């Protein structure tokens, strides 16, 4: 079961997904397959991938048939080659047929996020930077998608708006500027894990540094400008280390350049909002 959601929360999510898909009942399966029929289903990777969500996949069938038995051949975080079988499920044939789409959709989605995250992590190996996700997640799936990011080797940024202060362009504009926003945000020191502000140029950076935020987000800057900004942050005397984060326009082709520019964090919305689902099949045979 996902370490981010407890068992009860996972079950509630899965039940809602099943209810959406089943509707008034799986009339195809109910009219063509006997209640007595047992079957065996094998998950098959159709391309190279990083596995994420295999226990959730299995839990879908447990909810439909308490007698379900699952053999886990692979576990989350493992890299699978095409043709690899990560799990074998034995259950009632009706449960396998009715739960197949929900189970596969989840596994394909989460493995897709983990696979893309692993590519970004590999691209910056040897540097001190870390790949972070964002809040650009699928509504209702945030905890699971952020779990998949961790499986892929990335790190989670804010889980929600209540975890930390992140002052962005619109906040700055509406509050009256960088300094005004950071001064106002100090009242959240007791409940925010960190205070972070977005800057887009060196003038905004210098204004932010006078208030010693915990993190400075360098937004949509060129790598040369990021390098200059990092140097200024490192020279700035502060009671605690001020972390730097790069974001905006970052791809697999240029992410290493940003990492080598010296930032601590690189946030990549694409790992959740643009990760393609991996190709998996579920092959079912009667027992």
Active-site choice (101, 155, 206, 227)? 101
Please give the average per-residue pLDDT across 129-142, as a whole number: 96
Q: How far apart are CA 164 and CA 161, in angstroms?
A: 7
Strands (E), 95-193: 130-132, 165-167
Q: How far apart are CA 181 and CA 94, in angstroms?
A: 57
Please give the average per-residue pLDDT across 136-146, as a whole number: 95
Q: Is 214 a catalytic residue?
A: no
The structural domains of the chain, with segments of one domain joined by +, span 7-121+275-286, 164-267
Q: Is 128 a catalytic residue?
A: no
Q: Is 227 a catalytic residue?
A: no
Could you tell me the fold of the domain covering 164-267? TIM Barrel (3.20.20)
Pairing of strands 215-219, 79-80: unpaired
Distances (CA, A) of 169 to 174, 181, 217, 269: 9, 10, 11, 17
Q: How far apart are CA 174 and CA 9, in angstroms?
A: 37
Q: Is 219 a catalytic residue?
A: yes
CB 283 within 8 A of CB 160: no
Q: What is the pLDDT of residues 184-213, one digit of tens each?
A: 999 999 999 999 999 999 999 999 999 999
Distances (CA, A) of 286 to 15, 100, 254: 26, 15, 49
Q: Does 3 score more than 80 pLDDT?
A: no
Q: Is 136 a catalytic residue?
A: yes
**Looking at residue 238, what is its pLDDT?**
87
Question: Which CATH superfamily is 7-121+275-286 part of?
Answer: Quinolinate phosphoribosyl transferase, N-terminal domain (3.90.1170.20)
Share of the chain above pLDDT 90, in %: 95
CB 284 within 8 A of CB 96: yes
The answer to whether 7-121+275-286 and 164-267 have equal CATH topology is no
Distances (CA, A) of 80 to 48, 59, 100, 115, 255: 6, 21, 20, 10, 25
How many alpha carbons fall within 13 Å on the CB side of residue 80? 29
**Looking at residue 199, what is its pLDDT?**
98
Q: Higher-confidence residue: 2 or 265?
A: 265
Please give the average per-residue pLDDT across 45-52, as a whole number: 97
């Amino acid at each position: 079961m996902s370490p981010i959601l407890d068992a009860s929360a996972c079950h509630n999510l899965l039940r809602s997904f099943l209810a959406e898909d089943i509707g008034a009942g799986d009339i195809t399966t109910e009219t063509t397959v006997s209640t007595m029929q047992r079957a065996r289903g094998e998950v098959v990777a159709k391309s190279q991938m990083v596995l994420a969500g295999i226990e959730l996949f299995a839990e879908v069938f447990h909810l439909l048939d308490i007698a379900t038995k699952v053999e886990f051949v692979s576990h989350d975080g493992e890299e699978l080659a095409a043709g690899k079988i990560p799990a074998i499920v034995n259950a009632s044939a009706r449960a396998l047929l009715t739960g197949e789409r929900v189970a596969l959709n989840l596994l394909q989605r989460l493995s897709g996020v983990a696979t893309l995250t692993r590519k970004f992590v590999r691209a910056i190996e040897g540097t001190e930077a870390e790949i972070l996700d964002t809040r650009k997640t699928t509504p209702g799936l945030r905890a699971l998608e952020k779990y998949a990011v961790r499986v892929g080797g990335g790190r989670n940024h804010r889980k929600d708006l209540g975890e930390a202060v992140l002052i962005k362009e619109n906040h700055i504009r509406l509050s009256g500027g960088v300094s005004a926003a950071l001064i106002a945000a100090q009242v959240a020191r007791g409940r925010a894990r960190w205070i972070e502000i977005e800057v887009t140029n060196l003038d905004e950076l210098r204004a932010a540094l006078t208030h010693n935020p915990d993190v400075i987000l360098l937004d949509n800057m060129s790598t040369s400008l990021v390098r200059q900004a990092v140097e200024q942050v490192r020279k700035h005397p502060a009671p605690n280390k001020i972390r730097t984060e790069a974001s905006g326009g970052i791809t697999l082709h240029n992410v290493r350049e940003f990492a080598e520019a010296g930032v601590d964090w690189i946030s990549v919305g694409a790992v959740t909002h643009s990760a393609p689902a991996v190709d998996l099949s579920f092959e079912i045979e009667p027992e």
